[in-house]
Amino acid sequence: MTAKIAFQGELGAYSHQACIETRPDFTPLPCRTFEDAIECVRCGEAELSMLPVENSTYGRVADIHQLLPDSGLHIIDETFVRVHINLLVPKGTNISQVTHAMSHTVLLGQCRDFLAKHGIHRINAADTAGSAKHVAQENNPDLAALASELAGKIYGLDVIARHIEDHDQNTTRFLVMSRTKDLTRRGNTGMMTSFVFRVRNIPAALYKAMGGFATNGVNMTKLESYMVGGSFSATQFYAEIEGHPDDKSVQLAMEELEYFTDSIALLGVYPADPGRR
């Protein structure tokens, strides 16, 4: 039986595309929510999960950083997927017939120039591939979808305009999650380490905690804070650094971080994707 990789969304979603490009030997398993995609791995229905964490145009994907610490899963890889947005229509439709386009609000916002130029009105929908599926079912030449070419192939739609996004560097970063971790790997382009921590309630705790990374020459590529437990005083930080926990410089930096924190949880150690270079 082929191993499965879970993702949030309908078949044809950009997460589905990421699964095909990164794990072509796995069978993609669509899930309704991010929580469902995580639970499928946790309960053994799938071996891996593909989760989007940030987009170069839109920013952080909501809720993901809240879900990761308690997921019980480990980050084992990252991948960067170029998001090309396309105008999908029922077969035989001409662009002059299209009056409305539906998609996730993020994609609609990333194609403002194209839609305005052609006088196409926007319709907000839950997701991109779901919009393509709906357009195929409606079979109305007035209605188009903004989605991937993969979605067009799956739902039998024509692509009448390719790569219509306003920004030509639109890219989404995904994390591959697994039930088991592997700290033995060493990537050709370096390693990344992701973790969450909470600082002690002392003056300048965060500033002091970060000092160890600077003095030991460890590059921190991401540091984000968010509230936990519904309290404005309970702040957790999500961080990513270049390096492996076995590196001496990382060991020293983490030891200093530990001194100023109440808790640290390692989320993953994985090869740096060439796409981040």
Residues marked as catalytic: 172, 174
Q: In what order do the strands lie in the sheet with 121-125?
A: 121-125, 100-104, 143-147, 86-89, 158-161
Residues with Cβ < 8 Å from 166, sequence gap 6 or more?
Answer: 110, 111, 112, 113, 114
Handedness of CA 139, 170, 58, 9 (dihedral sign): positive
Residue length, the chain? 277
Helix (H) or strand (E) holding 108: helix 105-109
Q: Number of helices and strands (H, E) in the chain?
A: 9, 15
Rounded CA separation 174/271 (Å): 13
Are 64 and 8 in contact, with CB atoms under 8 Å apart?
no
